[in-house]
C-alpha cells in the first residue's frame, strides 16, 4: 500500500491547505485510515461509524480490538448525534477545555461502531485544538476514531516521520502538520459517574479540572486483563522503546551506580535525563527530555526522546523519575507503562 504524505506545516488557515485536507478527507469518507497531528500526539483516524474503517485502524496498529478508541470531532454539535446525554459537569469541562487535550467519557447512542467502544455503553470523545486536526475534522464532517498513530506498544508519535517509521505501507496517508505541542495523550475524564474520575492523566491536570467542577477522583489502579477498559491506555504495554527501560528513584550517585552495574555486565547503557543533569552521568548514550523545573517540557519531548534510543544501539535504558505533581502525573504514568513498572529505589 502506498502511504501518501501531505505536508501542511506552517499552517495558517483552511484555505491555504484545502487540496491536502480535501484529499485526506475523501480517503476518510471512503473507509480508509489517515494519520493527522493533534496538539497531543499524531492520531490514526478512521470513520467511527464504519466497522470497515475501524478494523483497518486495529490492523495497521496491531492493536487488540478490546481496547476502546477515542472519537474526535470538529464541532461540539456533533456530540448530540452519538451521545445519549451530557451531564452538567461534562458540559462545564467541555466549555472550559474544548478544543483541547481533554477526552470526556459519556453514555453513547448506537450510531458509532461497537468496535470503537469495545462493546461498552459509553464513548470517549474529544475535540482537538490543533488547527490542522480541526480543519480535517470539519471538512470530513464525520466522527473520527483516532488512537495514537504508532505500532501498538511503541512510543506515541509527535512528528510525522515517527508515523512513517511505524506505519508506512500500512495506512493510506499522513498529514504532516509539524511537531505536536503537549506531547502526551489527552486527559481522559469519565463523566458517567457522579464524581468524575480521571482514567488517564494528560495535559489537563486534576487541579485544573477541580477548579471548574469541584472534586475529581483519580483512578490509579491498573485493570486486570479480565476487565474491559473504559479508556485507551489502560490495558497492555504502552510507549516502550526497543530496549528495556528501568526507572531509578534516588540520588545522582545512586543513579550512576546503577549505570555502572549494567556496564559491568557488558551492557551498553542509555540514560534518559533532564537538562539539569545531562553532564552528571557517564553512559553510552545520554538523552535529555526537557527541564526538571518545567515538566511540561519533559512531557512535550518524552516520546521523541524514547524513540531516539532506538538509534543509539543500547541494551538498556535507565531513566530518572519525576514528581507526580501537575503534568508530572502524566509523565510518570507513561514512563511506568514503558518500563513495565520496573523501578529501582535507593
In angstroms, the CA 276 to CA 291 distance is 7
Q: Residue 257 class from Cβ within 10 Å (0-12 exposed, 13-18 middle, 19+ buried)? A: middle
Q: Is the dihedral of CA 98, 124, 333, 319 positive or negative?
A: negative
- The answer to the question of whether 152 is labelled as a binding residue is no
- Specify the 3-state DSSP secondary structure of 205: coil
- The answer to the question of whether 67 is labelled as a binding residue is yes
Q: Which helix (H) or strand (E) holds 137?
A: helix 131-140
- The answer to the question of whether 200 is labelled as a binding residue is yes
- The answer to the question of whether 238 is labelled as a binding residue is no
Residue pair 147/235 in contact (Cβ under 8 Å)? The answer is no
Residue for grid cell 486495529: 58
Residue pair 142/28 in contact (Cβ under 8 Å)? The answer is yes
- The answer to the question of whether 146 is labelled as a binding residue is yes
- The answer to the question of whether 297 is labelled as a binding residue is no
Alpha carbon dihedral 257, 262, 267, 271, in 10-degree steps, equals: -50
- The answer to the question of whether 170 is labelled as a binding residue is no
Q: Which helix (H) or strand (E) holds 258?
A: helix 252-264
- Specify the 3-state DSSP secondary structure of 285: strand
Residue pair 96/212 in contact (Cβ under 8 Å)? The answer is yes
- The answer to the question of whether 239 is labelled as a binding residue is yes
The per-type count for the chain, helices as H runs and strands as E runs, is 11, 16
- The answer to the question of whether 228 is labelled as a binding residue is no
Instruction: Point out the annotated binding site.
Output: 40, 63, 67, 72, 126, 146, 148, 156, 186, 200, 239
Instruction: Point out the annotated binding site for L-threonine.
Output: 40, 72, 126, 146, 186
Instruction: Point out the annotated binding site for ATP.
Output: 63, 67, 148, 156, 200, 239
Amino acid at each position: 500500500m502506498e502511504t501518501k504524505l501531505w505536508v501542511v506545516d506552517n499552517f495558517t488557515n483552511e484555505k491555504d491547505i484545502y487540496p491536502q485536507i480535501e484529499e485526506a478527507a475523501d480517503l476518510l469518507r471512503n473507509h480508509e485510515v489517515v494519520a493527522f497531528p493533534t496538539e497531543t500526539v499524531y492520531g490514526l483516524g478512521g470513520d467511527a461509524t464504519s466497522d470497515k474503517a475501524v478494523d483497518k485502524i486495529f490492523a495497521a496498529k496491531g492493536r487488540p480490538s478490546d481496547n476502546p478508541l477515542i472519537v474526535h470531532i470538529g464541532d461540539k454539535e456533533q456530540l448530540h448525534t452519538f451521545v445519549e446525554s451530557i451531564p452538567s459537569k461534562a458540559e462545564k469541562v467541555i466549555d472550559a477545555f474544548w478544543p483541547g487535550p481533554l477526552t470526556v467519557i459519556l453514555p453513547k447512542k448506537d450510531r458509532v461502531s461497537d468496535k470503537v467502544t469495545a462493546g461498552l455503553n459509553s464513548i470517549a470523545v474529544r475535540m482537538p485544538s490543533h488547527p490542522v486536526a480541526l480543519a480535517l475534522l470539519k471538512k470530513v464532517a464525520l466522527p473520527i476514531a483516532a488512537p495514537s498513530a504508532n505500532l501498538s506498544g511503541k512510543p506515541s508519535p509527535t512528528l510525522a516521520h515517527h508515523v512513517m517509521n511505524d506505519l508506512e505501507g500500512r495506512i493510506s496517508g499522513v498529514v504532516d502538520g509539524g511537531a505536536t505541542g503537549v506531547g502526551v495523550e489527552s486527559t481522559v475524564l469519565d463523566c458517567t459517574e457522579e464524581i468524575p474520575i480521571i482514567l488517564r492523566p494528560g495535559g489537563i491536570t486534576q487541579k485544573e479540572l477541580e477548579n471548574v467542577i469541584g472534586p475529581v477522583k483519580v483512578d490509579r489502579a491498573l485493570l486486570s486483563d479480565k476487565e474491559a477498559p473504559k479508556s485507551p491506555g489502560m490495558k497492555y504495554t504502552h510507549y516502550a522503546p526497543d530496549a528495556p527501560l528501568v526507572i531509578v528513584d534516588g540520588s545522582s550517585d545512586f543513579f550512576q551506580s546503577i549505570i555502572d552495574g549494567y556496564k559491568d555486565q557488558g551492557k551498553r547503557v542509555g540514560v534518559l535525563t533532564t537538562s539539569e543533569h545531562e553532564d552528571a552521568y557517564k553512559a553510552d548514550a545520554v538523552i535529555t527530555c526537557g527541564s526538571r523545573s518545567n515538566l511540561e517540557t519533559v512531557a512535550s519531548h518524552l516520546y521523541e526522546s524514547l524513540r531516539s534510543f532506538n538509534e543509539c544501539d543500547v541494551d538498556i535504558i535507565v531513566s530518572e523519575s519525576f514528581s507526580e505533581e501537575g503534568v508530572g502525573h502524566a509523565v510518570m504514568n507513561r514512563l511506568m507503562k514503558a518500563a513495565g513498572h520496573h523501578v529501582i529505589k535507593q
